[in-house]
Amino acid sequence: CDTNSSSEIAKLTHAVNEQTSAMTTAITAMLRQFQATPPPDPVKAVDETFFTCGGAHPYY
């Protein structure tokens, strides 16, 4: 392994480490935001009800 190759590998390793660190920071921030957001309220079922006013009416 020559000196030039070792230098290039060191530069690439440093760049990858910086990107990994930035990605880890971003993902950690997203996870914290997700954990801080309360879950939505459960959806309640709605019963369909019909009312008539003034007596029986036919439904068309």
Task: Give the end-to-end CA distance of the chain in Å, rounded to a whole number.
Answer: 87
Count of domains in the chain? Answer: 1
Residue 49 domain-assigned (yes or no): no
Residue 55 domain-assigned (yes or no): no
pLDDT of residue 36: 85
Q: Indicate left, alpha or beta for 2 from its phi (over 0: left) and psi (-120 to 50: alpha).
A: beta
How much of the chain, in percent, has pLDDT values that exceed 70? Answer: 80
Residue 6 domain-assigned (yes or no): yes
pLDDT of residue 52: 64
Between CA 36 and CA 53 the distance in angstroms is 49
Lowest-confidence segment of 16-20, 41-45, 50-54, 56-60 by average pLDDT: 56-60
Residue 28 reports pLDDT greater than 90: yes
How much of the chain, in percent, has pLDDT values that exceed 90? Answer: 43
Q: Which domain holds residue 4?
A: 1-40
Residue 53 domain-assigned (yes or no): no
DSSP string across 1-12: --HHHHHHHHHH
